[in-house]
């Protein structure tokens, strides 16, 4: 009896090891378990992560006073209490303006693993990306001068910048955006998939393992790979046309390339696709298979893949809501127009 149990456990272990290797061969990679390896992966050598910078970046991320109206913060569209997005088909910003291109807000969780930022990949990293929404008229609608004036008007913010960057720091718009981006670099969510890939054979359920096999066999990993399980640039409408392509005018970058969204926490980031027109994960899987792979994904296959995607639901870092510095007579007043 003991021999049978031992043989069964050995066989299960070999199967798990084989699946891990198949996943690696398909280009999938886990978030490292070791803190030092993770830090090396997410850190910015030009502006190293420190506790003081991260705490300051968190306050700036949640501060709506950086916006023209004083009502919209980074967290408005990238809600950390949810999936790191807003759950809307198209992002809504200043004066209740919907994104003019009908683009949805991608999740900020694990954005550090993206090769490029924004749907058209126009920003190289989260620091550069943070500059865009603050200044965009349909989003936070602020000027660089407004942001600097808001931050420097509050002595508490000035002290925190000095603590983070040194007494002689010059508070610029770029420095503010860089600090927000640095906070965003820490928003990493290790999941059961990562534990499985890092050696824990029981971290994923049997159905999730079968789903991983289906995910690889169907060809999903050809675009959704790397640590982010997405985040690179790829052609869109490869073998067929997306059925909601006429909603909004987005066509990708100059070469028709579109950023591949991360599949981490994808069960929490509906609706799907760049214009948010697919409401369910099952339908998103089938539509993606049709237009990108030329595959008629069955309901059974979609259900299997969806089971695997559940193994990408990760543990979110604990983010305590920050108490923001008080305004004073020198702080720019909100403008609703």
Positions annotated as catalytic residues are: 139
At 8, list the tokens.
């069964």
Of residues 156, 126, 129, the one with CA closest to residue 65:
156
Lookup result for tokens 């749907």: 119
Q: C-alpha angle 6/11/13, rounded to 5°?
A: 95
- DSSP H helices, the chain, are 2-25, 35-42, 51-62, 74-77, 126-135, 144-152, 155-165, 173-184, 192-197, 206-218, 281-288, 299-310
Return d(Cα 277, Cα 243) in angstroms, integer: 9
223 is annotated as contributing to ligand binding: yes
Return d(Cα 67, Cα 18) in angstroms, integer: 51
At 277, list the tokens.
């027109």
At 326, list the tokens.
């008080």
Of residues 110, 144, 116, the one with CA closest to residue 313:
110
Return d(Cα 261, Cα 27) in angstroms, integer: 16
Return d(Cα 328, Cα 149) in angstroms, integer: 12
146 is annotated as contributing to ligand binding: no
**3-state per-residue secondary structure call for 43-67:** CCCCCCCCHHHHHHHHHHHHCHHHC
Polymer length in residues for the chain: 337
224 is annotated as contributing to ligand binding: yes
288 is annotated as contributing to ligand binding: yes
Return d(Cα 77, Cα 244) in angstroms, integer: 23
Of residues 151, 146, 179, 180, the one with CA closest to residue 67:
146
Task: Measure Cα distances from 271 to 75, 206, 324 in Å.
Answer: 18, 27, 32
Residue ranges at the known binding site for heme c = 74, 77-78, 94, 220, 223-224, 288
Instruction: Please state the residue numbers annotated as binding site.
Output: 74, 77-78, 94, 220, 223-224, 288
């Amino acid at each position: 009896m003991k021999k049978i149990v031992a043989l069964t456990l050995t066989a299960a272990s070999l199967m798990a090891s084989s699946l891990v290797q198949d996943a690696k061969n398909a280009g999938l990679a886990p978030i490292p378990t070791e803190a030092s390896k993770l830090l090396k992966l997410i850190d910015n050598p030009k502006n190293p992560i420190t506790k003081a910078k991260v705490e300051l970046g968190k306050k700036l991320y949640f501060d709506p006073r950086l916006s023209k109206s004083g009502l919209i913060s980074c967290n408005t569209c990238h809600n950390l209490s949810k999936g790191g997005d807003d759950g809307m088909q198209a992002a809504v910003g200043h004066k209740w303006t919907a994104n003019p291109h009908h683009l949805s807000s991608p999740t900020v969780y694990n954005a550090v693993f993206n090769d490029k930022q924004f749907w058209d990949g126009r920003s190289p990293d989260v620091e550069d990306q943070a500059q865009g929404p603050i200044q965009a008229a349909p989003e936070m609608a602020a000027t660089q001068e407004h942001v600097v004036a808001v931050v420097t008007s509050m002595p508490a913010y000035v002290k925190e910048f000095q603590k983070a960057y040194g007494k002689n720091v010059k508070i610029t718009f770029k420095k503010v955006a860089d600090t927000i981006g640095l906070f965003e670099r820490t928003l990493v969510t290790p999941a059961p998939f990562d534990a499985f890939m890092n050696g824990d054979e029981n971290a994923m359920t049997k159905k999730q393992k079968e789903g991983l096999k289906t995910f690889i066999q169907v060809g999903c990993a050809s675009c959704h790979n790397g640590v982010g399980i997405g985040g690179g640039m790829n052609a869109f409408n490869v073998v067929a046309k997306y059925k909601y392509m006429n909603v909004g005018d987005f066509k990708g970058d100059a070469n028709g390339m579109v950023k591949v969204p991360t599949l981490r926490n994808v069960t929490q980031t509906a609706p799907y696709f760049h214009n948010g027109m697919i409401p369910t994960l099952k339908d998103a899987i089938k539509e993606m298979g049709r237009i990108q792979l030329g595959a008629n994904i069955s309901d059974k296959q979609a259900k299997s893949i969806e089971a695997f995607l559940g193994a990408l639901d990760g543990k979110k870092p604990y983010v305590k809501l920050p108490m923001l510095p008080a305004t004073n007579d020198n702080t720019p007043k909100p403008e609703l127009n």
